[in-house]
Amino acid sequence: MPYRRLPNTDSARLKSLKSAYSKGKDLPPFKLAFSANSFRKINGVLPLFEGAIYEHKNSLNLQAEKNKEYQKRLKKVRLYISHFIQVVNMAITRSELNAETRQYFGFDESERKLPSLSSEEEVIEWGSKLIDGEKKRRDKGMNPITNPTIAVLKVHFDKFMEYHHYQKSLKDRSHRAQEQLNEKRSQVDSVIQQIWNEVEKTYEDLPEEMRREKATEYGLVYVFRKNELSNPTIFQSHRAEEIG
């Protein structure tokens, strides 16, 4: 015997709600297979659920769209940070700068390896250290590091941080939209279950095939178990019922 399966996707939830809403809109209350209270609940949750789905989808699309430019900015500032550190190290190797210069930028005097810049947090950390370190050097009257200068690096770093904060705000928006959608899903599932229970209760005295046929008009979904699908008699009987 087929069993009913509650919707487990947003599109299936919407389809179920709209099927029930259509029935509630087209039929007078005394002919409706579910209660007036349930119809009021549909009217309450349907537009809010559609709005939550739209906001969630829109927030994710915007985040993905803006992330392309953000990744370009991240790549650019990572390159400038790396080049600045390499210039410092090469100048020390040529004895143009003292090894102690590295300490201004947060390195040990003997550290020649580039730091990891794989994460956004590391890029922010080292970008800040280089900007602060070069300012301290210049305040003491030392010659600036050039090619790139810290001013050029800072332009790219500040632009990156602007995009970083904006991207974070988009992530926060997507997170809020996800939470709101989850909340609406829970409400919708409760309403759908109530409607389906009432519909099946209304048609419980009808023969099984007729009961399912009537219920599916209200959006109820019935599926066969695997063993029933493998049984030609049961499956063909159901197919004949659908075609008829």
Q: What angle do CA 226, 227, 230 make, to 5 degrees?
A: 90
What average pLDDT score do residues 21-40 get? Answer: 95
- Please report, for the chain, the start and end positions of each structural domain, with discontinuous segments joined by +: 3-243
Inform me whether the pLDDT recorded for 234 exceeds 60.
no
What would the 3-class secondary structure string for 119-142 be?
CHHHHHHHHHHHHHHHHHHHHCCC
Mean pLDDT value across the chain? 92
The pLDDT assigned to 232 comes to: 47
The band of 4, judged by pLDDT with boundaries at 50, 70 and 90, is confident
- Ramachandran category for residue 147: left, alpha or beta (phi over 0 → left; psi -120 to 50 → alpha): left
Residues 6+ apart with CB under 8 A from 17: 42, 45, 46, 49, 188, 191, 192, 219
- Report field, pTM of the whole predicted structure over 0.85: no
The pLDDT assigned to 237 comes to: 44
What average pLDDT score do residues 80-97 get? Answer: 97
What average pLDDT score do residues 43-60 get? Answer: 97
What average pLDDT score do residues 1-11 get? Answer: 89
What average pLDDT score do residues 40-44 get? Answer: 96
